[in-house]
Amino acid sequence: MNTQITLQHQGLDCPLGDGQTAYFNYFWLRDNCPTSFDSNTRERVFDVFGLGQPPRPERADISADALEIRWQGEEHVSRHPLSFLRAHTAPGPRRDVADLSRKLWYGDHYPDIHRFSQPALMADPALVKDWARTLLEEGVAIITDMPGDKEGLSGTAGLLGYIRASFFGDYFDVKTHINPTNLAFTAKALEMHTDLPAEDLAPGIQYLHCIANTVEGGNSLFLDGAALAEDFRLSNPEDFALLASTDIPFYCEHEKFDMRARQRVIELDRYGAVSGLTISGHLADVFDLSQDYLDRFYPAYWRFGQLLTDPKYLMRFRLNAGECIVFDNHRIVHGREGYTASSGDRHLRGCYTDRGELRSTYRALSNKGETA
């Protein structure tokens, strides 16, 4: 077996025992010495900034399937298993069970929405994992048999993450308010939108628990923004590029708050695929781009907006009391038909958790989350 290590100026070439040789930077090797990590907290306890000089080997050898480096100027030997080095020869994030392909869906998806009974979820982590996977892949699920109290909603959301407060507090009630601070709190139709685009980071996962729905009208409207935008990329590539690269202003302003943020209509993930949308006609601020730029932007924005009511994408259904629809607030665009407030009761209670915690919960439940 080739055990010839070549020391270079900033790193070394190390034979990996499989016929391959790979280059590793000295800082990286010193920083990621196995002794750098605390076995209990799994956190790095070595401080690379505490090195008095850039790390250089005094000597380096292969011994018992490991690269051993004695470092100059410190009484320290690093011992890197070759298996660890082999796993890091190519750049890129480590394997992630939560990095799942999106399953795009269209207007006929309602009968196929995955449904989970709330009491069963509370009792069975394997079901919670299935629920989390559904949200990662499809962006929407319905929870049935919801308890009617507040604890029912917070307990359900708590299975996936900590409730993430907004400027409405830990949760919000969607019903007709006497002094509404938001169009949602009226009986009017609610155009297709994603929630709270005026926040720097809009909430990731939204829960809407239907406590009562006996009114005439008020159907729920949902669509998969990723499916819509991926089609739009093919049909209108220049428009797509514009919407994926232009920051537009959103606001949410009332007596006690004045939230403002800039967002892109189309959000892309690190692979360049559509991971979400930010759409809200009622919370879009006056576009402050140059009028020449708007000559290009507005037509693209308008053409895209035409698709938000296209039956190809739009899922229309009645949310029933005892159901809670859970969805990715970035990917899934939602709205509501108007209703007659005097015809009965309509009461939805909502809250949010974040996307990162959803992925974290899925990894932990998959029992495959790799640790440092």
Q: How far is the CB of 206 from Fe ion (least distance, A)?
A: 7
Q: Kindly state the number of chain residues that form the binding site for Fe ion, as judged by CB under 5 A.
A: 1
The residue of the chain with the least Cβ separation from Fe ion equals 195
Q: How far is the CB of 327 from Fe ion (least distance, A)?
A: 10
CB contact at 8 A, 341 and 215 = yes
Say which residue the tokens 């917070």 belong to: 154
Output DSSP code: residue 283: G
Which segments within 64-154 are labelled E, that is strand?
66-71, 77-81, 115-117, 140-144
CB contact at 8 A, 250 and 260 = yes
For strand 21-25 and strand 11-15, is the pairing parallel, antiparallel, or unpaired?
antiparallel
Which CB sits closer to Fe ion, 195 or 328? 195
Footprint on residues 184-223 left by Fe ion (CB under 5 A): 195
Q: How far is the CB of 280 from Fe ion (least distance, A)?
A: 8
Q: Compute the distance between CA of residue 195 and CA of residue 237 in angstroms, rounded to an integer.
A: 26
Which CB sits closer to Fe ion, 172 or 313? 172
Which CB sits closer to Fe ion, 195 or 224? 195
Footprint on residues 226-245 left by Fe ion (CB under 5 A): none
Q: How far is the CB of 177 from Fe ion (least distance, A)?
A: 14
Q: Residues with Cβ < 8 Å from 40, sequence gap 6 or more?
A: none
Which CB sits closer to Fe ion, 195 or 239? 195
Q: How far is the CB of 334 from Fe ion (least distance, A)?
A: 6
Q: Compute the distance between CA of residue 260 and CA of residue 283 in angstroms, rounded to an integer.
A: 10
Footprint on residues 79-98 left by Fe ion (CB under 5 A): none
Is residue 328 part of the contact set for Fe ion (CB under 5 A)?
Answer: no
Q: How far is the CB of 135 from Fe ion (least distance, A)?
A: 17
Which CB sits closer to Fe ion, 195 or 231? 195
Which CB sits closer to Fe ion, 32 or 213? 213
Q: Compute the distance between CA of residue 361 and CA of residue 125 in angstroms, rounded to an integer.
A: 10
Which segments within 19-131 are labelled E, that is strand?
21-25, 57-63, 66-71, 77-81, 115-117
Q: In what order do the strands lie in the sheet with 77-81?
A: 57-63, 66-71, 77-81
- The residues binding Fe ion (CB under 5 A) are 195
